[in-house]
Structure 1
């Protein structure tokens, strides 16, 4: 996994991102345009048409993010709409009710009272397409905020990480029958960028639920040592979940759709999400106090392999249906560090990155 330092305006951040990750971005463009065709039945011309509509919306609602995408395009030498398509790939893929959408990512938060070291810890396994190239962005913003976040090469800003104010974010894909890309609301990845620039829990809420959404998504949120909560979001509704006994877990299904309220489309892969939720919840419930090493042990669990918490490719199914744990992340927002694995954590060493 590439590690890249960014600074300056959002355009300059994007330019450095594009220049430094050019090869990885080219790979991701090829991977996603193939997935758009296979999973979403979207040919290149239609993808670019939709990307153009989103580009206009993003430029109007969050011009600084649009500047970042322009910088990536300039730095990488790739067409602007190809980069926009990467940045709105969540909306372009998830609204199609793909199997991948309900079949990856296990997130968690542990409050100080449930933590062996007395610190809030949060994180996740991020399970996705094996061929995607990720990167860790270390960004010094013009406003004084610093972020450390994982992203897919070509997607501006990051989606799993933390900032110097103490804000930390994890994500899970969700589906509902309300999802519709054509609403052209602020996209998922733009909201992640906004949340990772927030300076308070309410600022993170505003970024994630302050306006309607095009598609459903789950956000695991923490702030310093003081707060952790989960936001299950649908286009026009949301539900905030609080820790129980200092512990919080989420996977890829609405825990109680009627409480949002929302309706989930039928998908047989949802049982795998329920299994991972049950498995992680049992680990938490059976631990009096949870340590960093405990979390690493939970995150390499292979019960239900290959669709386990620690995900591995299933060679018996078509390549376009396969997924893997692309990275595993544990964050301590109060102390300002995160540990991340490059690939399934059972096969990779966690590396620590901090603000100090």
Structure 2
């Protein structure tokens, strides 16, 4: 069963029923957009990595079993998306596991925060971010969808994600909110794609359960998880070698470099990637620490901050640069 609401910037697709049924409704409703996104991905792989379509599909197929071992529910959802979109599961895995192949080539993506209710004027917790992405592979934001899952035996949730992907950012009916940031690692491995881990986080009823969901995954690559509930906030840096949890009773913030040491990986602290990420992270911390009071309006302005342009928290596409090298803000 599906229902579409147009009371927002993006249409909200509500899907109900079992795992496969919800996935099927999602895939069927966004069939055209999923196909367009796949075409963009295949072109990108061919242009920048020299991979033909068959090679990409073979690579994507390796992630199926780890996903199934991690969560039968997510595996069934992905099969449903594929069936609804009239594609193979491997096609959907190309989208779900895109990060595992290409994030080492991309950089400068996203800045996030979580603010505890103890330090906000409304006594509400906030989790937020700017979603920055490479312009070329993601169709300049045309591929974004909002999916609301309504279920009987698990938390309802809504996720902002890319057409065909299981989840990215979102919030569930237990008040658990999630934002994510790109992180690098030496190389991906066959395992659970990080967008599937994000989807599993939205299944959880508490912050500790969410942290455990990240920790128990055989993580294929790295991702930063910014999370909060009405009473707790935490940041989790997750890589194939481990997880690092940072909690606070004030605020936490993150960009695209590790704040904690990572076993088996030495991050470069020179070059544009680190400079870009470090400046955004420092600026976010400065704005949160210097605030006389923090509320919803203040945090919206934080995400609009242009200090340090072109390395600002609020990113704008530079039309003078090649599309394949350009990053821009899709959502705040």
TM value normalised by structure 1: 0.84
Q: Distance in 1 between matches of 2:154 and 2:238?
A: 30
Report matched runs for 1:231-310 at 5 Å.
Answer: 231-243=236-248, 246-257=250-261, 262-265=265-268, 268-310=272-314
For 1:192, the equivalent position in structure 2 comes to 198
Cα offset, 1:170, TM superposition? 0.8
1:210 aligns with 2:216: yes
3-state DSSP class of the match of 1:277?
Answer: helix
Farther-moved stretch of structure 1 (230-239 vs 71-80): 71-80
> Is the Cα–Cα contact under 8 Å of residues 185 and 212 in structure 1 kept in the other structure?
yes
* Residues 41, 269 of structure 1: alpha-carbon distance in 2 compared, 3 angstrom cutoff: farther
Q: Distance in 2 between matches of 1:176 and 1:110?
A: 27
3-state DSSP class of the match of 1:249?
Answer: strand
1:180 aligns with 2:195: no
For 2:43, the equivalent position in structure 1 comes to 34
Cα offset, 1:325, TM superposition? 1.1
For 1:327, the equivalent position in structure 2 comes to 331
For 1:351, the equivalent position in structure 2 comes to none
For 2:70, the equivalent position in structure 1 comes to 61
Q: Distance in 2 between matches of 1:286 and 1:41?
A: 48
* Residues 288, 41 of structure 1: alpha-carbon distance in 2 compared, 3 angstrom cutoff: farther
User: Gaps (5+ residues) in structure 1?
Assistant: 329-356
For 1:135, the equivalent position in structure 2 comes to 145
> Is the Cα–Cα contact under 8 Å of residues 237 and 261 in structure 1 kept in the other structure?
no
Q: Distance in 1 between matches of 2:88 and 2:310?
A: 37
For 1:91, the equivalent position in structure 2 comes to 100
Q: Distance in 2 between matches of 1:74 and 1:242?
A: 41
Q: Distance in 2 between matches of 1:49 and 1:312?
A: 35
> Is the Cα–Cα contact under 8 Å of residues 18 and 76 in structure 1 kept in the other structure?
yes
TM value normalised by structure 2: 0.90
Q: 2:110 aligns with which of 92, 105, 120?
A: 105
Cα offset, 1:261, TM superposition? 6.9
Cα offset, 1:159, TM superposition? 1.4
> Is the Cα–Cα contact under 8 Å of residues 197 and 217 in structure 2 kept in the other structure?
no
3-state DSSP class of the match of 2:275?
Answer: helix
Q: Distance in 2 between matches of 1:3 and 1:220?
A: 23
Offset from partner CA, 1:252-308 (integer Å, 9 cap, x none)? 0012436x6742257532211111111111110110321100011111112233442
* Residues 61, 106 of structure 1: alpha-carbon distance in 2 compared, 3 angstrom cutoff: same
* Residues 185, 147 of structure 1: alpha-carbon distance in 2 compared, 3 angstrom cutoff: same
> Is the Cα–Cα contact under 8 Å of residues 22 and 77 in structure 2 kept in the other structure?
yes
Q: 1:154 aligns with which of 164, 168, 171?
A: 164
Q: Distance in 2 between matches of 1:72 and 1:114?
A: 41
Cα offset, 1:14, TM superposition? 1.0
Q: Distance in 2 between matches of 1:22 and 1:211?
A: 29
1:3 aligns with 2:8: no
> Is the Cα–Cα contact under 8 Å of residues 257 and 264 in structure 1 kept in the other structure?
no
Offset from partner CA, 1:308-347 (integer Å, 9 cap, x none)? 211111122211111211111xxxxxxxxxxxxxxxxxxx
Cα offset, 1:18, TM superposition? 1.0
